[in-house]
Structure 1
Amino acid sequence: MNWTLEVVVVPVSDVDRAKEFYAERLGFAVDHDTKMGDDGRIVQLTPPGSGCSIVIGNGPLPTMEPGSLKGIQLVVPDLEEARAELVERGVEVSEITKMGDNPRPTPHPLDNVGFLFFDDPDGNSWSVQQISDRA
């Protein structure tokens, strides 16, 4: 039995502002933006190359405090390139941090141990890890 993670609900206070951040600043594809009745709205966005999407919105979504989601992690093959892209798109992002020693020899010193961090406009926290070659 395969169990795949397909969607993570990200709690936000302003759906339009969050949609702009994730689509325009991070480059996530807008899969759909659906209104449900007078007060409900679901927006699904997917990071480039990802099999897992995020959902923002209001109405029938689980109730969480905006900004309460911490530790969502993206993986990229080149952390320096990813950081440069985020900075160019206007995202406030940390410097690259090396966390520990690589558990196995890799061609790049940041593989597995290189990270950067940023928050969305509501304070939901994201990390980005470099993995350019999987074992």
Structure 2
Amino acid sequence: MDWTLEVVVLPVSDIDRAIAFYRDQVGFTLDHHTVNEQMDVAQLTPPGSGCSIVIGNLPSQQAMVPGSMRGLQLVVSDAKAARQQLLDKGVDASEITVFDQRDGGTFFGFTDPDGNTWAVQELKVRAERPLIPAEARGRFGTEQSA
């Protein structure tokens, strides 16, 4: 039996600001934003990922302190290009650090407007062998658009 991690709840203080940051600056796809009498909840997914973040005002989300999530990790095939993409969109990204010359040893980081922190790891192998093949991406096996 597979046990797949598909959603991480991310505590934020302002849902609309968080959507704008993750969608417009970081480049995540907004899968849905559901607003009704009971909730204001959004799900966003990094391109090529099988795991999404969920932000909102449900009781379980309100129990978490905004900005308290530390060290969530993204993986990219080119750290320099990914960092530049974030800088070009106004995201303050740290310098690239090489902890090990082998693939997987290069990192940089960034912080969202609430203080949740992210590490970005370079795995060059992802350029040739993505974790999720293009044909298997999206909620129904097709690539989604923002």
How far apart in 2 are the matches of 1:125 and 1:99?
19
For residue 36 of structure 1, report the CA deviation from its aligned partner. 3.4
1:127 aligns with 2:119: yes
How far apart in 2 are the matches of 1:90 and 1:61?
31
What secondary structure is seen at the aligned counterpart in 2 of 1:65?
coil
For residue 124 of structure 1, report the CA deviation from its aligned partner. 0.1
Equivalent residue number for residue 18 of structure 1: 18
1:99 aligns with 2:99: yes
What TM-score does the superposition give when structure 2 sets the normalisation length?
A: 0.81
For residue 37 of structure 1, report the CA deviation from its aligned partner. 1.2
How far apart in 1 are the matches of 2:108 and 2:35?
34
Kindly, what percent of the aligned residue pairs are identical? 55
For residue 92 of structure 1, report the CA deviation from its aligned partner. 0.2
1:70 aligns with 2:62: no
For residue 16 of structure 1, report the CA deviation from its aligned partner. 0.6
Equivalent residue number for residue 55 of structure 2: 56
Aligned partner letter, 2:55: I
How far apart in 1 are the matches of 2:41 and 2:49?
19
Equivalent residue number for residue 47 of structure 1: 46
Size of the aligned set, in residue pairs, is 126
Aligned partner letter, 2:72: I
More strand by share: 1
What TM-score does the superposition give when structure 1 sets the normalisation length?
A: 0.88
More helix by share: 2
Structure 1, 51-60 or 76-85: larger mean CA deviation? 51-60
What secondary structure is seen at the aligned counterpart in 1 of 2:114?
coil
Structure 1, 80-89 or 55-64: larger mean CA deviation? 55-64
Aligned partner letter, 1:46: T
Structure 1, gaps ≥5 residues long:
103-110
For residue 116 of structure 1, report the CA deviation from its aligned partner. 0.4
